[in-house]
Amino acid sequence: MARKRVIEAPSLKSWEDVNDALRQIAEAQIALGDIEGDMQKQIVGAKKVAEEQSKPYKDAIARLEHELKEFVSEHRSDMGKGKSMLLTFGEVGFRLSTSVSLPKAKEKLADIIRRLKARQMTDCIITEEKVSKEALKKYGEDTVNAVGATWKQKDEFGYEVNLEKLEQIRAGL
């Protein structure tokens, strides 16, 4: 059996039809807003319930972690040469941790970068090069094409619904 192509005829045939379509979109957007608002309220409610139910457990874990740390720190010599102790329900111990902190001031960071460059430690410097499309667009089509990028222009369809008008009409009914 041969496949048939169904061509749907456009349903909008006048400006009144277009105006009615905009009204329908506005009504649908309002309905979606209401639905999403209700969903957010339910999510917030569920989060509050979960927080209330989990608080005693979180508090107990925090208290026990603190007590574990204190006990193990006081009895570190019991571990012998090792830095950890394996127990039935887990392991406690110490690990050497190293971190590097950097100042937040731009001048101090610039000074650190200068010193790293002087020591040939460029692997410690992150440089990220990106093309700014917005800045490139300002140079015009010829320049954009000359550097190897592509200049495209087209008319994009758009619409805007007047939700305030719909609300006024609804309020008047």
Condensed to tens digits (0 to 9), the pLDDT of residues 128-137 reads 889 999 999 9
In angstroms, the Cα distances linking 140 to 97, 129, 149 are 53, 21, 11
Q: Give this prediction's pTM.
A: 0.56
Distance CA 34, CA 2 (A): 46
- Angle, helices 163-172 vs 15-74, to 10°: value is 110
Question: Across all residues in the chain, what is the average pLDDT?
Answer: 91
Asked whether the beta carbons of 94 and 84 are under 8 A apart, the reply is yes
* Per-residue model confidence (pLDDT) at position 128: 87
Provide the token pair at 115.
Answer: 């010193």
